[in-house]
Amino acid sequence: MTKPLQVMKFGGTSVGDATCIARAAQIVASTAKGMRVVVVVSAMSGVTNRLIDSAKRAGEGDTQSGSALVEALRQQHRTALAALVSDETDRTAVERQLEAIFAEGKRLYDGTAMLRELTPRTLDVISSLGERLCAPIFAGALRQLGAKSRSIEATELIVTDSYHGGAEPRADETRKKSSELIGPLLGAGETPVVTGFIGATHDGKLTTLGRGGSDYSATKLTTLGRGGSDYSATILAAALDADEIIIWTDVEGVLTADPRLVPEARTIPEISYREAAELAYFGAKVLHPKTLRPVLPAGIPVWIRNSFSPEKLGTKITQKGKSIGGGVKALTAIRDVALISLGGPGIVGVPDVIGRTFTTTAELRADVLLISQSSSQNDICFLVSKPHAHATVDALRKEFAQDLAHEVVDHITVDPNVAIVAVVGENMRGTPGVAGRTFNALGQEKVNLIAIAQGSSETNISFVVDDKSMQPALRVLHREFGLGHSPAN
Ligand code: ADP
Ligand code: ASP
Ligand code: MG
């Protein structure tokens, strides 16, 4: 009988330095004694941000920043490798792999600085370097512990469409490639270590989500978006028919709120796919928003666990979650958003204002996070992520130029100092009073509400506040719904 298959993903802090990698490798090696394991790794903590930051500088003509970063990364990764792999032959082989990646990074930065142009394609390739440096070191650490292991670049496994910075996987092709490459390795008792975050298109033709098209074909690399290694893990798990996924991170599971904002937040032992997806969508950084999509059809359970306290069970995410008899399970917030309002007394009589507004946002591929319309119908407001705000307002001003001239529309404004707070719980459906308690508690705390929305699924109530009120709102609601005390299950 074949052993069960587990996909384990380790996030940036879980592979942050040699000590963390050793701890993570220990977890893998002991699991691999009784199961087949595929490992997915992120870049070492902070590396992706630094890579992107230097890429932007290079795009502005800075010839130093990229080289300096490559040198710093060389030090950092070689130090980790030296601490983890004592066998000289093995270490030299991994060093050679790393050197090829540093050389590639240097060329990319130099080229970008020389041209003073950072294309989305180049940005994706630069962004991928962190994962590609980390995977060979992790595999070396596993070999050091006596496991059979090798690193694999996910460009060999995950086939995506060609949207840079937010590519979507193609399930059938990914299944074929992954099982052909990974299947035999697992059969031979190996534990492959796969780079998270990246994939490759089928034919090398690339375009970028939200930044216009490009059809470079020199490289086939695409990325799955920020925090995308979570998504890589579930894509691979679905492709390989895994039995379970464990996302190892730096907190003990999905908590009732972001612990940095609400210190009394607690771990939720079990939560449904839908609730977890809602939390991720509304900003809970612990999961990439698309993470759960690939595992829904097969119902593969996903665990979120703390690699720094592996003895704790963490959170289990399943189809059904666990009923708490009605009520709120968790809170979340998104800060990086802007509120756009469009209105004027004249829009009551114009039937297509809403249609034109959202056709405009769709053309820009701006993600609309929340929509609200006042009952007198003379104001529509909606939220987009901050980077999209200016382009959205400009496009709306163009679209409604005539209406503005004739004062049918009297304002199109943007407010960047806002946040969305969401109250999430599957069993809020049919539980009267959650909205009442929410808004009462906020009123008592004197939190001013700018807009409110409730999804028709009734899995969340979300509202907009000015960004200074976000933390007080989270704290008062956490208290109001007793999330820090009663078992949050
Ligand atoms: P990784 O590097 O492992 O991918 P991330 O930093 O992406 O980890 O995500 C983990 C972080 O998510 C936690 O350290 C925590 O601060 C934050 N977070 C936000 N909301 C939540 C929540 N509801 N539950 C748990 N963690 C959360
Ligand atoms: N390294 C990538 C990021 O920082 C992907 C990930 O960590 O999941 O977004
Ligand atoms: Mg993450």
Nearest CA to ligand 1 atom 5: 286
Pocket test for ligand 1, best of 224, 231, 234, 251 (most atoms within 8 A of CB): 251
Cβ(166) – ligand 2 distance below 6 Å: no
Ligand 2 centroid – CA 84 distance (Å): 22
Pocket test for ligand 1, best of 197, 232, 258 (most atoms within 8 A of CB): 258
Q: Is 43 exposed, middle or buried (CB count within 10 Å of its CB: 0-12, 13-18, 19+)?
A: buried
* pLDDT at 159 exceeding the cut of 50: yes
pLDDT digits (tens, 9 = 90+) for 275-328: 999 898 888 889 988 899 999 999 999 999 999 999 999 999 999 887 555 589
344: left (phi over 0), alpha (psi -120 to 50) or beta: left
- Whether the pLDDT of residue 51 is over 90: the answer is yes
213 pLDDT tier (thresholds 50, 70, 90): very low
pLDDT of residue 208: 23
Q: Measuring from atom 5 of ligand 2, which residue has the nearest CA?
A: 227
Q: What is the pLDDT of residue 486?
A: 54
Q: For a ligand 2 pocket test, name from 41, 44, 48 the mutation site with the most ligand atoms within 8 angstroms of its C-beta.
A: 48
Q: Do 200 and 222 form a contact (C-beta atoms < 8 A)?
A: yes
Looking at residue 206, its pLDDT comes to 32
Q: What is the mean pLDDT of the chain?
A: 90
First-to-last alpha carbon distance for the chain, in angstroms, is 35
The per-residue pLDDT for range 475-484, each reduced to its tens digit, is 999 999 999 9
Least confident range of 250-254, 312-316, 353-357: 353-357
- Work out the average pLDDT over 108-112: 98
Q: Are 332 and 257 in contact (CB under 8 A)?
A: yes
Q: Ligand 1 center to residue 365 CA distance, Å? A: 26
Quote the CA–CA distance of 198 and 190 in Å, as a whole number.
Answer: 22
The predicted structure's pLDDT at residue 455: 67
pLDDT greater than 50 at residue 219? no
Q: Greater confidence, 282 or 144?
A: 144
Highest mean pLDDT among 55-69, 150-164, 362-376: 55-69
Tell me the pLDDT band of 471, cut-offs 50, 70 and 90: very high
Report the residue count for the chain. 489
Q: Per-residue pLDDT averaged across 125-141, rounded?
A: 95
Tell me how far the alpha carbon of residue 248 lies from the centroid of ligand 1, in angstroms: 11
Q: Which atom of ligand 2 is found nearest the CA of 232?
A: 8
Asked whether the predicted pLDDT for residue 211 surpasses 60, the reply is: no
pLDDT at 387: 84
336 pLDDT exceeds 70?
yes
User: Mean pLDDT across the stretch 358-386?
Assistant: 84
The protein residue with its alpha carbon nearest to ligand 1, atom 26, reads: 286
Task: Please list every protein residue whose CB sits less than 6 Å from any atom of ligand 1.
Answer: 11-14, 42, 227, 249-251, 254-255, 257-260, 279, 284-286, 330, 332
Higher pLDDT, residue 337 or 208:
337
* pTM of the predicted structure, to 2 decimals: 0.91
Ligand nearest to the CA of 284: 1
pLDDT of residue 122: 92
Give 41 Cα–ligand 2 centroid separation in angstroms: 9
Of all ligands present, the nearest one to the C-alpha of 280 is 1
Compute CA distances 135 → 15, 88, 127, whole Å: 10, 18, 14
Residue 218 is predicted with a pLDDT of: 33
Residue with CA nearest ligand 2 atom 3? 227
Nearest CA, atom 11, ligand 1:
286
Ligand closest to CA 12: 1
Q: Whose CA is nearest to atom 10 of ligand 1?
A: 286
Atom from ligand 1 closest to the CA of residue 229: 4
What is the best residue among 249, 309, 316 to mutate for testing ligand 1's pocket, by most ligand atoms within 8 Å of CB? 249
Percent of the chain with pLDDT over 90: 71
Q: Residue of the nearest CA to atom 2 in ligand 2?
A: 227
Please name the helix (run of DSSP H) or strand (run of DSSP E) that holds residue 424, with its range, or none: strand 411-424
* Token digits of residue 475: 């704290």
Question: Could you tell me which residues are beta bridge partners of residue 460?
Answer: 424
Picking from 37-46, 154-163, 205-214, 369-378, which range would have the lowest pLDDT averaged per residue? 205-214
Across 146-171, average pLDDT: 91
Q: Is the pLDDT of residue 207 over 70?
A: no
pLDDT of residue 443: 95
pLDDT in tens, 176-195: 999 999 999 999 999 999 99
Q: For residue 260, which atom of ligand 1 is closest to its CA?
A: 16
Mean pLDDT, residues 212-235 taken together: 63
Q: Which atom of ligand 2 is nearest to the CA of 231?
A: 8
Task: Residue 432: name the closest of 449, 454, 448 by CA.
Answer: 454
pLDDT above 80 for 198: yes
Question: Which bound ligand lies closest to the C-alpha atom of 251?
Answer: 1
Task: Note the pLDDT of residue 175.
Answer: 98
How do residues 392-415 score in pLDDT, each as one tens digit? Answer: 999 999 999 999 998 889 999 999
Neighbouring residues of the ion ligand 3, judged by CB less than 5 Å = 11, 227
Q: What is the pLDDT of residues 92-103, one digit of tens each?
A: 999 999 999 999
Quick one: pLDDT band at residue 459, thresholds 50, 70, 90? confident
Does residue 214 surpass a pLDDT of 50?
no
Q: What is the pLDDT of residue 326?
A: 57
The three-state DSSP-derived secondary structure of 306-353 is ECCCCCCCCEEEECCCCCCCCCCCEEEEEEEEEEEEEECHHHHHCCCH
Q: Which of 4, 20, 25, 40 is nearest to 231 (CA)?
A: 40
